[in-house]
Amino acid sequence: MSLHSPAFKKIVICCDGTWNKPEVAMNSKRYRPTNVLRIARAVSNVDEQFHHQIIYYDSGIGTDGGLGHRLIGGLTGYGLSARIMKAYRFVCHNYVEGDVLYFFGFSRGAYTVRALAGMIGAVGLLHANDLHHLPTAFRYYNTHPKQRPSLPFAKAFIASHHTRSVRIKFLGVWDTVGALGIPIPYLRPFTKKWVGFFNTELGSHVEHGYHALAIDERRRPFKPNLWSRYEQSPGSATKDVCQVWFPGSHSDVGGGADDTTLSDESLLWMVNRAVQCGLHFPDHFRTDLDKTHRRESSKPQNSLSLPYKGLILIGVFPHKRIIGNRRAVERLYERTPSTSPILRNLPHRLSAPLEPVINEMIHESAFQKYVACEISAQGSCYQPPNLANAINSLPVFREKYYRTRSHIRKALNLKGQVLSQQQTEDCRVLDFSPHGGAKLQMSEPANRIGQTFILNIDDPEYRGKDYRGQVAWQSKYSLGLKFLSETGKSNDDPLRVPQ
């Protein structure tokens, strides 16, 4: 095989947000390319080893058909199923064994690629000559997992149609909007029937998941859909998950705003993650982004335009996004009367407890703006109230430290215990590398820096193994444990607490 006949290619799927259409003249006031569109246009045709990189771009819901069709799609999410299947067909037609998959999405486009990843995890990848079974496969995926075994076609489909089990190398999304149906409390239950069930949690077949989130978005229909759990299975591919909060509103983070200073920050962050996972961009693209994001940061735009303010009249109130401690919100619900106006600024009451979010972090740009405000009151001040508690409890994502991490961490979100000669404490293991260390969330704040612990993880894959490490950093409830030795410490270790 010649140098110019590489053994595999890279397939890049890009799905844009609602009403984001690329075919607008550059001199038009409406021309505001999103970060997804900029990614699609910037990816090189081949990488440095001559592997082809092919692009699929979808302009998003609400960009096709007449005005009525565009409005219905944009307001309700109608048409999402067709877009998932269209992207799925593209992957089926182009994928051969050994190819590498990269998914990008913004807003409802982020929801689309996450649903696409969920479908691939649920039914695999059909061969191109079996695509006449796609409606059946999609119906299987679009049914809640608890109800799938009862479907008359479920066993027949799984047994008779050989699909390909594939892994997704990279899943990068900006501000996933999961709201489907008309954003009016009394009408949403009816319109959600149009779109069905979509599993957008992180599957074990996804190797790297990255999520950029907007701190300052207040529109309730734009409630973000964070990863709160992912499938645990033997041989899980998931190695790295980051969900990072950036300053700005929805379009400040995902792109499309008049001023791109803030969106350039999150775009550069995502491009750096994709490059680390093997995707190739022209050198000048990253260099130009690195220059522009160093400009003096602008203020987040106010996304509460007049139409969204009008929704208040029908009970759709603005709200502050929850960052960090979700248990505090649950406690507030428990002690606040249902008629209180305080609840207007909070997410809708949930039928189940809010789940811990996987690997939630604050980007250094938001941290620096917040701290600068505390040091000096001159000029504009950036201290959003929903960031006040999180600034001391969540770790800060710092680019230079992340790039130099020598061991890839695997996101876990599992129960665990840390043991010392003095006591045993419960914790949650948020991410983990057997040779590097772990990030833990503790139940109580305390100064533990420099202390040595034994970590036990409550999961069959790790049970019976002890991980000895030293606390390298701490941010209130979160701490970083750096392992001092290999795994599998014996029970006679001097730091082992007698049972």
Distance CA 248, CA 88 (A): 32
Mean pLDDT highest for which of 217-231, 345-359, 447-461?
A: 447-461
Please report the beta strands in 234-376, taking only residues with DSSP state E, as ranges in sequence order: 240-246, 360-363
CB 427 within 8 A of CB 440: yes
CB 347 within 8 A of CB 319: yes
Over 90: is that where the pLDDT of 283 sits? no
- List CB contacts of 156: < 8 A, sequence separation 6 or more: none
Q: What is the pLDDT of residue 351?
A: 44
**pLDDT band for position 300 (50/70/90)?**
confident
CB 25 within 8 A of CB 32: no
**pLDDT band for position 10 (50/70/90)?**
very high
Stretch 217-240: mean pLDDT: 75
Axis crossing angle, helix 134-141 with helix 80-94, rounded to the nearest 10: 120
Q: What is the pLDDT of residue 446?
A: 79
Distance CA 195, CA 241 (A): 28
- List CB contacts of 228: < 8 A, sequence separation 6 or more: 201, 355, 356, 357, 358
Question: For all residues of the chain together, what is the average pLDDT?
Answer: 78
Q: What is the pLDDT of residue 189?
A: 56
Over 90: is that where the pLDDT of 42 sits? yes
Stretch 438-444: mean pLDDT: 86
The DSSP 8-state label assigned to residue 130 in this structure reads G
Distance CA 220, CA 250 (A): 12
Distance CA 419, CA 425 (A): 7
Q: What is the pLDDT of residue 490?
A: 34
**Closest of 312, 298, 311 to residue 251, by C-alpha:** 298
The DSSP 8-state label assigned to residue 355 in this structure reads P
The reported pTM is 0.75
Stretch 363-368: mean pLDDT: 90
CB 363 within 8 A of CB 245: yes
Stretch 279-301: mean pLDDT: 79
CB 430 within 8 A of CB 413: yes
